[in-house]
Amino acid sequence: MSACRLEELGLVTALGSSARANLERLIAGDQSRFGVTRDHVSGVERPFGAVHEPLPEISSRLARYDCRNNRLALAAVSQIRDAIEAEIERSGAQRIALVIGSSTAGVQAAERAFEVRREHGALPDCFDLVQLEFGGPAEFLREELGIEGPCLGLSTACSTGAKALLSARRLLELGICDAVVAGAVDSQCRLTANGFEELQALAPTLTNPMSRNRAGLTLGEGAALFLLTRDPGGVQLLGGGESSDAHHISAPEPSGSGAIRCLRAALADAGLEPSDIDYVNLHGTGTLQNDAMESRAIASVFGLDTPCSSTKPLVGHLLGASGAVEAGFCWLLASAPFQLPLPPHRFDGERDPELEPISLVRAGQVATRRDGSRLCTTSFGFGGSNCALVIGAGAA
C-alpha cells in the first residue's frame, strides 16, 4: 500500500493536553503525572494515568453524547480543528471520512447511570445509549465537525488505535475520500479495571515492563486523533502490518509468532529493512506474558541493537487508544528537528534474565539522524489481534 501523510495530531494523555507538553514530558521520562485511585477497584489502591487538565464541554446541541470519553475526543480534535476545517473547505465535507476507535467507549457513564437507577428507580435524563456504543465517538465527531463522508467505529482491543490509522490509509488509497480524521479514545471504568484485576494483570504499583519484578499493567486514559491526507512530505505513515494469533482469548501466542508476522509485514509494506528502523515503541505492558513474547519478537526481527522502550510507564495502558497515542508519540519524535530524541524506558533497572536482552533506551539517549527518521510502534491486543506501524519523516 502507498504511504499517506499524518498532517496534524491532537493528543491528550496524562503527560498533558497538547503536543508540546506530551513531547517534553515524554523525552524527560516524566512519571510524576500518575495518581492513585480507589475508584476503579473497590477498596484497593491502584496507580492510574489520568488526564489532569479540564476537558471541554460538549454543546447542548449534542448533549446526548456527553460523557468523559467523548470529552477526551473533543479535547484532542480541538487541537487540529483549524486544519480539519481547512480540509473541508478544500475538498468538501463529503470527501472527508472518520475512523475512530475505542475499547471502553462510555462504559463509565453507563456505570454511573445504573447507580442512579439503583438509588432512584430510573436512569438519569442525561444518559443516552449512544454514549455506551463503540460507534458513539465516531458519530459524535461527525456531528461536531460537520463531516459527511464515511464514518466508521472500530474496536479490536489494544490494537484498535493502530488499526484505525491503517483503515484510514485504505480509504485514502481506494479514493473513497481525500482526507480522514482517524485515531482512538478511551476513558477508564470499573468494568475494565476489575476485569484486569481478576485476570491478575493489574499491577499494585506502577507498571515495570521488562523487569524481573514486573507484576502487570497500569491503566490510563487519553485520546490521539490525526488528520491524514495523500499529500507528500511531512511525517508519513509508511507501512503497517496485521496478524491474528488465534491462540487464546486473552494471552498472546508465547513464541511471538503472530507479533513477528505483523512486524515483518509492516517493514515489507514500508519497503524497509529492520536495520532502517531507528526506534521501536514497544507494546510493553509489564505483564509476564506480553513482555516475554514481545522481547522474543523484537529480537527475532530487529536483533538486539535497535533502541526500544515502552511508554506505558509514562501514561499507563490506554487500551484501545494506546496504538493511536503511541503512533502520536512516534509522530512527535519524527517531527523533532536535528537529533532524534528517544523516550527512556522507565523501570526498576532489574532486567529479567529470561527475556531477550533487547536494547532498552537510557535516559538522555538520542538516535543519529540520517536523511530521515524511521520509527516502529507495536500493538498487541486480546485475542491475538496484532498491529505494527512504521512512521517516518524525510527522504528514504
Q: Cell for 170?
A: 485504505
Judge whether residue 1 has pLDDT over 70. Answer: no
Judge whether residue 396 has pLDDT over 60. Answer: no
- pLDDT of the residue at 372: 80
DSSP β-bridge partners for residue 15: none
Judge whether residue 275 has pLDDT over 80. Answer: yes
Class for the domain spanning 237-394: alpha beta
> Could you tell me which residue, 210 or 106, shows the higher pLDDT?
210
Please, are residues 216 and 201 in contact by the beta-carbon 8 Å criterion?
Answer: yes
- pLDDT of the residue at 278: 94
Neighbouring C-beta atoms of residue 253, cutoff 10 Å: 22
What is the model's pTM?
Answer: 0.96
Alpha-carbon gap, residue 1 to 266, rounded angstroms: 10
- pLDDT of the residue at 37: 83
At 351, is the pLDDT very low, low, confident or very high (cuts 50, 70, 90)?
Answer: very high
Is 133 exposed, middle or buried (CB count within 10 Å of its CB: 0-12, 13-18, 19+)? middle
Neighbouring C-beta atoms of residue 94, cutoff 10 Å: 13
Alpha-carbon gap, residue 135 to 227, rounded angstroms: 19
Tell me the C-alpha to C-alpha distance, in Å, between residue 139 and each of 37, 46, 146, 208: 31, 33, 10, 37
Which of 110-114, 196-200, 302-306 has the lowest average pLDDT? 196-200
Least Cα distance to 349 among 208, 235, 249, 236 occurs for 208
* Average pLDDT along the chain: 94
Helix/strand/coil percent split, the chain, to 5:
35, 25, 40
At 27, is the pLDDT very low, low, confident or very high (cuts 50, 70, 90)?
Answer: very high
Domain ranges, ordered by start, for the chain: 4-229, 237-394
Is 288 exposed, middle or buried (CB count within 10 Å of its CB: 0-12, 13-18, 19+)? middle
Judge whether residue 261 has pLDDT over 90. Answer: yes
pLDDT tens-digit series, residues 50-100: 999 999 999 999 999 999 999 999 999 999 999 999 999 999 999 999 999
Q: Where are the beta strands (DSSP E) in 52-135?
A: 96-101
Instruction: Please give the backbone phi and psi of residue 228, each rounded to the nearest 5 degrees, phi first.
Output: -110, 140
Class for the domain spanning 4-229: alpha beta
**Distance between the two ends of the chain, CA-based, in angstroms?**
16
Longest dimension (CA), the chain: 65
- pLDDT of the residue at 262: 96
| % of the chain surpassing 70 pLDDT | 98
pLDDT tens-digit series, residues 87-104: 999 999 999 999 999 999
- Those residues with Cβ within 8 angstroms of residue 148's Cβ, 6 or more apart along the chain or in another chain: 93, 94, 96, 142
- pLDDT of the residue at 394: 72
pLDDT tens-digit series, residues 356-388: 999 999 999 998 766 789 999 999 987 789 999
User: Among all residues, which ones are annotated catalytic?
Assistant: 158, 283, 317
Judge whether residue 251 has pLDDT over 90. Answer: no
| 62: amino acid identity, one letter | L
Judge whether residue 395 has pLDDT over 60. Answer: no
Q: Cell for 381?
A: 491486543
- pLDDT of the residue at 370: 65
Alpha-carbon gap, residue 136 to 393, rounded angstroms: 33
Q: Cell for 324?
A: 493511536
- pLDDT of the residue at 312: 98
- pLDDT of the residue at 211: 98
Least Cα distance to 282 among 347, 373, 226, 237 occurs for 347
Please, are residues 387 and 261 in contact by the beta-carbon 8 Å criterion?
Answer: no
Question: Residue 394: left if φ>0, alpha if ψ -120 to 50, beta else—which one?
Answer: left
- pLDDT of the residue at 369: 64
pLDDT mean over 312-318: 98
Q: Cell for 97?
A: 471520512
pLDDT mean over 318-322: 96
- Those residues with Cβ within 8 angstroms of residue 341's Cβ, 6 or more apart along the chain or in another chain: 27, 333, 366
